[in-house]
Structure 1
C-alpha cells in the first residue's frame, strides 16, 4: 500500500536564482497535503504560495501569497474555509508592478466534489523569468498527488540590473 508520495524540484543558476517546489501527501494519515513554491532572486524579489488542507478537521483550507520587492511593494492574501459553510472558497491575488511583474495565486476547494484541491502560483517578469507550481490532489484515489514545477530564464537577463536601471 502506498503510504507516502512526494515531489521536489529545485533549480539553481549560479546561486543567483532559486526555484523550489515541494509537495507531500501521506496516505497513511490521510491528513496532510501541502504545496509550497518559492522564488528568490538575490533577495530582491520574493514569491511564495502555500496551501494546506487538513483531512481530519475537514474545516481548514488556507492559501497565503506574499510578494515583496525591496520592501517597496507588498501584497498578501490569506483565506480560510469553514467546513460548516458547505460552500466554495476561492482566493485570487494579482499584483502588477509597472506592468513588469505579475504575481497570481489561486486556491480553490469544492466541498460538493470532495475531489479537488489546487494551488497554482505564477511569476512572470517581461517573459524573461517564469515560475509556476501546480499541485493537484484527488480525494477519490487517495493515492495521487502531482506537482509540476517549471523555470525558464530566457537570455539569462539579470533582474537586478533591469530594476537598478529604472531607479
Structure 2
C-alpha cells in the first residue's frame, strides 16, 4: 500500500523533466542486531514474502528492488553459550531499563546474553494463521524482541569519535545512492 503512493520505474530525460520516478526501492528488515547472523537470511525471506506483490509490481515497471536485513545502529554483539552438549548462538547487549526476560527486569546497566531463538526455515510457518497460537486465542506475539541500549561512542587515542557500529547500512546506501556519488 505504501508503494502505491510512489511512481516506481525507470524514467528518461523527457519524463524526468516533468515528473520524477523512483528507480530503486529498498525493503529493509530493521533490528537485525536482535537476531544472530544465522537468522538474517530467514528474516530477509520473511520480509520479501510480506512485500512480494509490491516487489513484483515494482520490478514490472523497471525499478530495481532489493530486500536486506540491517541495523542502522548495532546495539548487540554475537557470541555462543554452551548448554549441556549444545552450543547456542546468542546476542549480547544491555537491555533497556524495565525490559523483562522470563520475569527478570533489567536496570539498563547490566549486560546479558540472550538466545534470540531461530526463525523458521520454512517461512510459510510464520504466515500460518491456523497455528497453535492462533487457535487458542493467544494474544501474545509469537516473536518478541527485547530493546537494547545503543553502544557508547568510543574515541581513539587522538580524541576522534568513532562511528556507531551497524549491520549492512553501507550496503543499503550503496544500493540506493551509490552511483550518484561516483
- Structure-2-length-normalised TM-score: 0.21
Higher helix share: 2
Question: Larger Cα Rg: Structure 1 or Structure 2?
Answer: 2
- Structure-1-length-normalised TM-score: 0.22
Structure ranking higher on relative contact order (CA contacts 8 Å, 6+ apart): 2
